Chain A
Amino acid sequence: MIRSATRSTLTNKVNYRSMLAGNDPFSLGDFDLLETTTLASSASSVTFSGLGSYTDYKHLQIRMIARTDRSTNGDAFDMRINNDSGSNYTYHFLQGDGTSVSSSGTGSQNRILLLRIASNGDVANSFGGGVIDILDTLDTSKNTTVRALAGSSASFQQLALNSGLYTSTNAVNEINFFPSSGNNFVTGSRFSLYGIRG
């Protein structure tokens, strides 16, 4: 413990009453922005890689707003982990389209299907949004689970509560997003990655 600095032999010294020594207070935070990708041109996919380095975080969240260049109304989007295109995913969703509510799900898929975003078939400037949570990303004792709320109220209207499972205990090092139609995310689509401490 520093009890006194008054006997310092340094010249031009300044005695501080705080250990911040004149610096601004700082906080590492519990919910931190890690990376953002905002498309400057259309792209067939968006990838966050090197996620194994984020060892300070237990969970990840992706907040995104996107539109694709599909010519018909609306689009879905797919998510893969570690660029694994094997049949290692299960997904379910509960969706409402303005007329009815329905549920669907299936296993042994090559991606997690997520609903719903806008497309070039929708009114101009409309996008769809999503908030996607990926849990326990670095835990190698359990498979990875994903949940999301996503939707679009454009010409084609749909929103969904989505869940997904990646049947692998590998740590999540990479996350990949693709338009389900095989088209492109348009310019201005944004994907932001956040870390949540645990």
Chain B
Amino acid sequence: MATPTYTPLATTTLASSASSVTFSSIDQSYGDLVLVISGTTASATTPIMRFNSDSGSNYSWVRMDGDGSNDTSASGTYTGASFGRIGTAQSVIIAQIMDYSATDKHTTILSRGNLPNDRTRAMATRWANTSAITSAEVIADATTFDTGTTLSLYGIAK
């Protein structure tokens, strides 16, 4: 029998600007997580996620952008899992956090970021750690999420 899924786990709509939002004690009974951010930041940024409070340079990323004039691709490592793009115009990011509860593989994050007055972006990111993700701190990174920005976390059964 089919198992209904795509279950909302937590949603935060900011009552005041914030530099980060933390999802803690994440339910381990799902296969994938989906993080949806709808809103704006004080300045354009590539937000990051830190899993289980890991602030080491353990996150690698590759991205491709189209800004209306140029298409570009870049890669690197960072102290958080870079994903999507958000800025001063209403933006939407959807990030797929694959097999977050597994302990036999690094975590892969696939994301799309749509910042309509700037660019559209796709990214693949890897957390080089086989631990199950129990917490995720979503950080605006050098800026703040604006009041009214919504961050929602969903669980998908596997």
Contact = CB atoms under 8 A, between A and B. Distances in A.
A in complex with B: yes
A31 to B, nearest CB: 4
Contacts of B105: 65, 67, 125-127, 188
Contact of A157 (B2, B66, B124, B157): B124
A67 to B, nearest CB: 8
B99 to A, nearest CB: 5
A122 B64 CA distance: 21
Contacts of B106: 123, 125-127, 154
Nearest to B156: A63
Given A98-B74, A125-B106, A153-B61, A29 B126 contact: no
Interface in A150-198: 150-154, 157-159, 161, 188, 190, 192, 194-195
Interface residues of A, number: 46
B5 A99 contact: no
A129 B122 contact: no
B69 to A, nearest CB: 13
A15 B110 CA distance: 52
B108 A65 contact: yes
Interface string A129-160: 11100000000000000000111111001110
Given A65-B105, A127-B105, A94 B110 contact: no
B72 A101 contact: yes
B101 to A, nearest CB: 11
Which one of A95, A97, A188, A194 has the highest number of Cβ atoms from chain B below 10 Å of its Cβ? A194
Contacts of A32: 2-5
B71 interface: yes
A192 B32 CA distance: 10
A92 B126 CA distance: 25
A14 interface: no
A33 B157 contact: yes
Contacts of B71: 101
B130 A31 contact: no
B4 A31 contact: yes
Chain A contact residues: over half helix, strand or loop, or mixed?
Answer: strand
Interface in A77-110: 94-101
B110 A131 contact: yes
Contact of B4 (A28, A97, A152, A190): A28
B3 A153 contact: no
B14 to A, nearest CB: 27
B116 interface: no
A27 interface: yes
B133 interface: no
Given A125-B106, A151-B62, A190-B31, A159 B124 contact: yes
Contact of A192 (B64, B66, B102, B158): B158
B123 interface: yes
A29 B112 CA distance: 25
Q: Which 4 A-B pairs have the closest CB atoms?
A: A96-B64, A29-B4, A151-B124, A98-B75
Given A33-B156, A65-B99, A125-B104, 7 more contacts: A33-B4, A98-B75, A123-B128, A129-B108, A129-B109, A129-B110, A151-B122
